[in-house]
Amino acid sequence: MFQTTSFTTLIVGVFVVYVLHTCWVMYGIVYTKPCENPKLENCINPYLAGKPRLQLSIYTALRPNADGGHTLIHEEEDFDVETKFERIVNVSLPKKTCKNGTLYAMVFLHQAGMSPWQDPRQVHLVSQLTTYMIPKPPEVSLISGEEATQAEQLKRKPKGGDPAVDRPVSHWRSRLTLNVVSEDFIFDRDFLPSDVHRYLRVFQNGKKRVYLPLLFVDELSNRVKDLMEINSTSTELPLTISYDTISLGKLRFWIHMQDAVYSLQQFGFTEKDADEIKGIFVETNLYFLALTFFVAAFHLLFDFLAFKHDISFWKQKKSMVGMSSKAVLWRCFSTIVIFMYLFDEQTSLLVLIPAGVGSMIEVWKVKKAFKIQVIWKGVKPTFIFGKSDESERRTVEYDTLAMKYLSYLLYPMCIGGAVYALVFLRYKSWFSWIINSLVNGVYAFGFLFMLPQLFVNYKFKSVTHLPWKAFMYKAFNTFIDDIFAFIITMPTSHRLACFRDDVVFLVYLYQRW
């Protein structure tokens, strides 16, 4: 007991240090030390303080250095830094872009009435207007075959045409979000942040050092839902150009977040996986985002502690007295079905990986619950089931009785739902229909399979046989999952299941009381 408490205390201590360190790092990102005396030589003054007349010009080009020509698509002649706006322009696509090529946007902020290519005091950034993604497979009616011809056409395209469905194709980013730091911040050259340095262009104006406007292209605003597939018939596509001011602290934070997303993509995260992380930052208020960080940190702590106590409980478990073995078997089956469903829906790795780990743990629990021994004879496994004592047989009797009454309600509803979905809904394949039907049954009526354990508890008039430490940590995480259900993108049925578990834990707590 002492060793367990000491280890848990150590983990909590590491967690507290981690949270405090993260808060210190976040403070260092948001806060920038200003130059106290603007007349000193090491101070860098803002160019915008002189209220210059500026112009915003946006060009498209096939290459980021504009080799091969460029095309003007939009300009704001009397550009006011403090005035936000949103413009929708139609962009003509070059032939190379239509043939699975790329296109870049070149954004210039320069002196009004002067060409940006000749202005020595211009700032510009290059942003990619296209990205590569695997198109979503078409969904068809498995009964009538409706839209099947469209799917066949996609598969039978000639070699000179567009790529097959399973190959990445060029997609159009329909949003371009621009920001300029509007505050007249005076930098201290000795404390110049490294993240801002790459966006800073400085020139000498007499004895003063002046930095040009801090222009920023918000790549986090480019979401998968805004992408449009480009094909050989696309000649013109809309582009929404949005502009707003940004504070220096938020600019630095956004730079770090964009670098983090880019690093994840370099490690193999797809555009869709990165999009889930973008949604957390873009579609969430910064204060709510800070709260989410603390909630996520506690979720990580409770996850680890629940995992530790759950594994310890089942590792030491020798008897299944008072434990519903069918509930354990159902939980294993349901977690595997949910994992396959999330995989079929191409859900974010943030959700998929924990689901896969949970499935493996549940398989191990089934092996312990049914006292299964696996003996290998060459490549052929032999399964041996252990014997049950009198108390365990009583538990199985109560367990079977509860499942008998549940089956009268559960099976007809699951079969009816599957038939309804087959007739009226569309799916990518028969496998997709089977997985969706199973997971809908799990999500809609899965909590009913937790009722046999409640029934066993009632019959034995005891809950001491349950892993209460692990249960309580999981209960805390269940309520935390309710918050994440509104933040991370996931299927609606998976989101509703988070709230379903709340009811079950409340009933367990009532029984304990």
Q: Identify the CA nearest to 97 among candidates 155, 159, 162, 154.
A: 162
pLDDT of res. 7? 72
Distance CA 334, CA 441 (A): 9
Choose from 239-253, 357-371, 390-404, 456-470 the range with maximum mean pLDDT.
239-253
pLDDT of res. 147? 54
Contacting residues for 506 by C-beta, under 8 A, at least 6 apart: none
Residue written as token pair 């009797």: 397
**pLDDT average, residue stretch 361-387:** 78
pLDDT category at 441 given cuts 50, 70, 90 is confident
Question: Which neighbouring-strand residues pair with 106?
Answer: 59, 126
Q: What angle do CA 348, 297, 484 make, to 5 degrees?
A: 45
pLDDT of res. 376? 76
**The 3-state secondary structure of 27-85, one letter per residue:** HHHHCCCECCCCCCCCEEEEHHHHCCCEEEEEEEECCCCCCCCEEEEEEEEEECCCCCE
Distance CA 283, CA 296 (A): 17
Contacting residues for 388 by C-beta, under 8 A, at least 6 apart: 320, 396
**pLDDT tens track for 238-261:** 999 999 999 998 899 889 888 888
Contacting residues for 199 by C-beta, under 8 A, at least 6 apart: 214, 215, 216, 255
Q: Is-contact 176 239, C-beta < 8 A?
A: yes
pLDDT of res. 132? 85
Indicate if the pLDDT at residue 106 is higher than 70: yes
**Secondary structure letter of residue 139 according to DSSP:** P
Residue written as token pair 């371009």: 176
Q: What angle do CA 135, 140, 144 make, to 5 degrees?
A: 165
Mean pLDDT, the chain, whole residue set: 79
Q: Identify the CA nearest to 348 among candidates 336, 358, 359, 356.
A: 356
Contacting residues for 31 by C-beta, under 8 A, at least 6 apart: 249
Question: Which neighbouring-strand residues pair with 57?
Answer: 75, 108
The residue with greater pLDDT, 279 or 10, is 10
Indicate if the pLDDT at residue 144 is higher than 70: no
User: Coil, strand or helix: which one is 434?
Assistant: helix
**Secondary structure letter of residue 209 according to DSSP:** E
Indicate if the pLDDT at residue 112 is higher than 80: yes
Residue written as token pair 């009532």: 510
pLDDT of res. 494? 58
Q: Is-contact 51 112, C-beta < 8 A?
A: no
In Å, what is the CA distance from 355 to each residue of 150, 314, 343? Answer: 34, 19, 10
Of the listed ranges 76-80, 271-275, 293-297, 448-452, the least confidently predicted one is: 448-452
pLDDT of res. 125? 94
**pLDDT tens track for 36-92:** 877 778 899 999 988 999 999 999 999 988 887 899 999 998 899 999 999 999 999
pLDDT over 90, % of the chain = 20
Distance CA 382, CA 375 (A): 5
Indicate if the pLDDT at residue 1 is higher than 50: no
pLDDT of res. 449? 62
pLDDT of res. 128? 92
The residue with greater pLDDT, 433 or 91, is 91
Distance CA 366, CA 385 (A): 11
pLDDT of res. 213? 94
**H helical segments located in 172-285:** 194-197, 248-266, 271-282
Distance CA 59, CA 71 (A): 5
**pLDDT tens track for 458-496:** 777 777 766 666 667 766 766 766 666 666 555 565 566
Indicate if the pLDDT at residue 416 is higher than 60: yes
Q: Is-contact 223 282, C-beta < 8 A?
A: yes
**Strands across the sheet containing 104-111:** 70-79, 54-61, 104-111, 123-128
pLDDT of res. 501? 65
pLDDT of res. 490? 59
The residue with greater pLDDT, 497 or 217, is 217
**Secondary structure letter of residue 387 according to DSSP:** P
pLDDT over 70, % of the chain = 80
Return the sign of the alpha-carbon dihedral for residues 80, 81, 85, 87.
Answer: positive
User: Coil, strand or helix: which one is 128?
Assistant: strand
Q: How far is CA 253 from the centre of its chain?
A: 19
**H helical segments located in 231-385:** 248-266, 271-282, 286-316, 325-344, 349-369
pLDDT of res. 146? 59
- Cα radius of gyration (the chain): 30
Q: Is the pTM of this model over 0.85?
A: no
Indicate if the pLDDT at residue 155 is higher than 50: no
pLDDT of res. 462? 72
**Residue 62 structure tokens:** 């096939």
Choose from 170-184, 300-314, 420-434 the range with maximum mean pLDDT.
170-184
Distance CA 257, CA 293 (A): 14
Indicate if the pLDDT at residue 141 is higher than 70: no
Q: Identify the CA nearest to 74 among candidates 63, 61, 87, 85.
A: 87
Distance CA 249, CA 29 (A): 7
Question: Which neighbouring-strand residues pair with 372?
Answer: 385
